[in-house]
Amino acid sequence: MSAVIDLRSDTVSRPTDAMRRAMAAAEVGDDVLGDDPTVRRLEAAAAERIGKEAALYVPSGTMANLVSLLTHCGRGDEAIVGSESHILHHEGIGAPALGGISLRTVRNDDRGHIDPVEVRDAIRAGVPAPRTALVCLEDTQNRCGGAAIPAQEVRAVADEAHAAGATVHIDGARIFNAAAALETEAATLAASANTVSFCFSKGLGAPVGSVLTGPGEFIDRARAIRRMVGGGMRQAGVIAAAALYALEHHVDRLPDDHANARRLAEGLATLPHVRIDAGAVDTNIVFFELDGVDGRAFRERLAAASVLCSGTGPQRVRMVTHLDVSAEQIEVAIGAARDVLESMSPAVAAS
Ligand SMILES: *Cc1c(COP(=O)(O)O)cnc(C)c1O
C-alpha cells in the first residue's frame, strides 16, 4: 500500500488488479457504430440499477450533465440549479456557452436542502422571461458536506417541477453514496426524476467514465448530442469493463468509506484549532474549518507528512475517503494532523 494517504478526492483511487484484469479481457467493438458489447452491457446494467429505461456511457460527469442539459433544454430555455451545485460552480459555463441555456439558482442550505416552494416560485413560463425547462438536483450534495438528499425531498421538488411542465435531472455523481447513507436503493432516490447521471470514477473506483440515464427516447437524442460534443468513443469497452466491474463489486463497500469518514471527523474533532460538526458527515466527504492557524500552511505541512487534502477556502479543508484508504490509514492521518496542529500551536506544544 502506498505511503501517501491521498484524501484530496475519491477521484484519485486507482483501478484494482481485478478491475485491470476485467479491462484486459473486455470484448470490444466500435461504440460509435453501436457494436461494443461491453459498453452495451454497461449501459443496460446502469439503466437497470438506477431504474431507468436506457443509459448512455460518457467520458465524464461533466459531459453527462452537459449532454443532459442540452437534451432537456432548447436555446433560450432556463434550467434551475442549486446555489451550491457542481453544475454551477465546477462545470464552467458549458450549458450557457454551448447551449444558450441560462442557469437560475435556488438556495441550497448548508446541508444541501432545497425548499420546493422556492423552486415553485422560481419556475417561469417564458416570454418575456425565459421558460424554465428543467430543474436539477444533486445527490449527494458535494459542496454541502456530501449530504445525502432523501427520496421524499427529491420527490417534493420533482412534483413542483412536473406540475409546472418542467423536467427533472439529478446530478447523481455519488448517488450510490447517498443510497448507502440513507439505507435505500439508488433507484428509489432516482424514481421521481426524469434523468439521472452518475460517476464510476469517484467512490466506485473506476479510472474513467460516467453515465446518463433516462427514458429510451431521451437517451436516443442524448446519444446524438454526445457525438456533437465529441463524446463518441470507439473501443470504449476497455474502460466500460472497469465501470461494469465497479458497479458489480464496489457499490456494496461504500459503507466502509462512510465509516472511515465518520471516524476521521471524530478524530479531527479532538484536535486543537479544528472546528467541525462530526455529526454532519453523511457520506465520504469531510469538511472542517481551521481557527488560529494558517490553512495553507496546515495543508503544506500535512502533505510533507504524506497526508494530502484539499482546500475549498483559505481556512476550509476537505478530506474525502475512498477505496484506496484503509481504516488504519485514517488513524495515521488523524495522528499526522494532530502532530502538525500541535506543532503550529505554541500553547499546546508547550503543554
Ligand atoms: C465530480 C462531480 C461531477 C463531474 O464529474 P467529472 O467526472 O469530474 O467531470 C459532477 N457533479 C458532481 C456532484 C461531482 O461531484
**Is the pLDDT assigned to residue 25 strictly greater than 70?**
yes
Q: Supply 350's cell numbers.
A: 508547550
Count the neighbouring beta carbons within 10 Å of the beta carbon of residue 73: 24
Q: How confident is the model at residue 319 (pLDDT cuts 50, 70, 90)?
A: very high
pLDDT of 336: 98
Which residue in 90, 139, 146, 179 sits closest to 285, CA to CA? Answer: 146
pLDDT of 23: 98
Evaluate: CB of 9 within 6 angstroms of ligand 1.
no
pLDDT of 2: 60
pLDDT of 312: 87
Question: How distant, in Å, are the alpha carbons of 15, 33, 236, 238, 253 from that of 58?
Answer: 18, 15, 10, 13, 24
Give the distance (Å) from ligand 1 centre to CA of residue 8: 14
Evaluate: CB of 142 within 6 angstroms of ligand 1.
yes
Span of 4-8, 80-84, 90-94, 317-321 with lowest mean pLDDT:
90-94
The overall average pLDDT reported for the chain is: 96
Evaluate: CB of 173 within 6 angstroms of ligand 1.
yes
Share of the chain above pLDDT 90, in %: 95
Over residues 143-157, the pLDDT tens digits come to: 999 999 999 999 999
C-alpha angle 248/250/252, rounded to 5°?
A: 90
* Interacting residues of 128 by C-beta distance below 8 A, sequence separation 6+: none
Give the mean model confidence (pLDDT) for residues 271-286. 96
Pocket probe for ligand 1: among 58, 68, 87, 90, the residue whose CB has the most ligand atoms within 8 Å is 90
Q: Is 279 exposed, middle or buried, given 0-12, 13-18 or 19+ CB atoms closer than 10 A? A: exposed
The predicted model scores a pTM of 0.96
pLDDT of 304: 97
Domain with CATH 3.90.1150.10 in the chain: 253-350
Share of the chain above pLDDT 70, in %: 97
Give the distance (Å) from ligand 1 centre to CA of residue 54: 21
Evaluate: CB of 144 within 6 angstroms of ligand 1.
no
Q: Which CATH number applies to 253-350?
A: 3.90.1150.10
Q: How confident is the model at residue 141 (pLDDT cuts 50, 70, 90)?
A: very high
Q: How confident is the model at residue 346 (pLDDT cuts 50, 70, 90)?
A: low
Give the distance (Å) from ligand 1 centre to CA of residue 319: 16
Over residues 202-250, the pLDDT tens digits come to: 999 999 999 999 999 999 999 999 999 999 999 999 999 999 999 999 9
Which residue in 239, 201, 241 sits closest to 322, CA to CA? Answer: 201
Half-sphere exposure of residue 307: CA atoms within 13 angstroms, side-chain side? 24
Give the distance (Å) from ligand 1 centre to CA of residue 173: 6
Which residue in 261, 286, 248, 263 sits closest to 16, CA to CA? Answer: 248
3-state secondary structure at position 317: strand
Tell me the Ramachandran region of residue 280: left when phi exceeds 0, alpha when psi lies from -120 to 50, beta otherwise.
Answer: alpha
Over residues 252-264, the pLDDT tens digits come to: 999 999 999 999 9
Give the distance (Å) from ligand 1 centre to CA of residue 92: 12
Q: Which CATH number applies to 16-249?
A: 3.40.640.10
Q: Whose CA is nearest to atom 3 of ligand 1?
A: 61
Evaluate: CB of 86 within 6 angstroms of ligand 1.
yes
Q: Whose CA is nearest to atom 5 of ligand 1?
A: 61
Residue 257 near residue 284, CB atoms below 8 Å: yes
Evaluate: CB of 60 within 6 angstroms of ligand 1.
yes
Give the mean model confidence (pLDDT) for residues 278-292. 96
Domain with CATH 3.40.640.10 in the chain: 16-249
**Is the pLDDT assigned to residue 347 strictly greater than 80?**
no
pLDDT of 348: 47
